[in-house]
Amino acid sequence: MAKSKLSLINRILFLLNNVFAIALVIAFVIPKLSPKDYGVLSILSLATPALIVVNLIFVIYWTLVGFKKQLLLSFFVLLLSLIFIPSVYEFNTSATAKKNSLHIMTYNVRKFNIYKWLDIANIDTKIKDLINTENPDILCLQEYRKMETFKLNYPFDYNYLTVNNVQPGLAIYSKYPIINKGSIGDERHSVDAIYADVVKNNDTIRIYTFRLESLGVIPNKDYFGHENSERLIKRIRRSFIFQQNQIQSLNDHINNCKHKIILTGDLNNTAYSWAYKNIKNDLQDSFLEAGNGFGKTYEFKKFPLRIDYIFADKDMNIINHKNYTEKFSDHYPVSATIEF
């Protein structure tokens, strides 16, 4: 027989349940709120995956202890999350690629580990071997730098490198001719994105790759022990606003493009943010269309995050999506096969 009254502990837990349920509901509307106007509130988008997990735990808990009325709160909020926010976990099947398709890979290579963040030797060679094994038609790299030991056998390429090869660069490699190319952003420092018009079978596809402003959160650092949380929040808010400016510049450029587009890169933000909503627009997200699992491209304190993306024109067909587990950077590469 189910219990009819809540103990003091369960009353406290149900109060916490209300707080987390309300926080998840607020997360539904955060992608609609401009970081410039709602900067502090927009930070909550980073916690959306955790809020989903916590509400799921509450549903399981109330089910186990027999309090059916209490479980309804988080249960209905989780149902609403299926409507209002992108999926955390995907189940999809792959299809066979046809002739008019491109296999595209995107990878933030973190300057090929030049500053020895990872205790792994010859990372540039290992990344090159992975790329050669996967053999994508189009390769997009972020935080790229020129290295004599990193040579790829692609007939066409375009890269943007800053002065002295210090700031993170961007690169696009292609098996097919590039007939037009350019950059977007402040060329004096570090551009936000580059693009290349690629021709295959008389079709021209514009490939963009981008890297948005980093939030500056270091996974292994204890911010509560080393830095005032208020300063951390202010820094993240500034990064969100910087990202907003970058996205607006990129969207202005995309809106003037007459070709179908594929947009790849490091968003440095989750799929529950204003940044994601406004860079995706009406494009397709390859992970949502053909991915499986959590789609992890970055790991923060053992928590899987998806911050690297491949978006494709709404008239294209996403055949498959792949996430990799090779850890040669702080990011994991992503690939997709896209039919056009």
- The ranges assigned to domains in the chain are 8-84, 101-339
- Name the phi and psi angles at 2, rounded to 5: -65, 145
Tokens encoding 5: 């009254």
Q: What's the CATH superfamily of 101-339? A: Endonuclease/exonuclease/phosphatase (3.60.10.10)
- Angle CA(317)–CA(197)–CA(94) in degrees, nearest 5? 20
Is the overall model pTM greater than 0.75, yes or no? yes
Helix (H) or strand (E) holding 8, with range, is helix 8-29
Which residues lie below 8 Å from residue 302, measured CB to CB, with a gap of 6+? none
Q: From first to last of the 340 residues of the chain, give the pLDDT tens digit.
A: 344 578 999 999 999 999 999 999 999 999 999 999 887 788 889 899 999 999 999 999 999 998 889 999 999 999 999 999 998 889 887 777 777 899 999 999 999 998 899 999 999 999 999 999 999 999 999 999 988 889 999 999 999 886 655 567 999 999 999 999 999 987 655 678 999 999 999 999 999 999 999 987 766 555 544 556 777 788 888 999 999 999 999 999 999 999 999 999 999 999 999 999 999 999 999 999 999 999 999 998 788 999 999 999 999 999 999 999 999 999 999 999 999 9
pLDDT per residue over 140-174, tens digit each?
A: 999 999 888 899 999 999 998 866 555 679 999 99
- Angle CA(52)–CA(53)–CA(54) in degrees, nearest 5? 95
CB 141 within 8 A of CB 333: no
Cα(257)–Cα(281) distance, integer angstroms: 15
Cα(189)–Cα(161) distance, integer angstroms: 10
Cα(75)–Cα(86) distance, integer angstroms: 17
Bin 292: left if φ > 0, else alpha if -120 < ψ < 50, else beta: beta
Which residues lie below 8 Å from residue 271, measured CB to CB, with a gap of 6+? 85, 86, 285, 306
CA separation, residue 163 to residues 105, 146, 187, 190 (Å): 26, 12, 10, 9
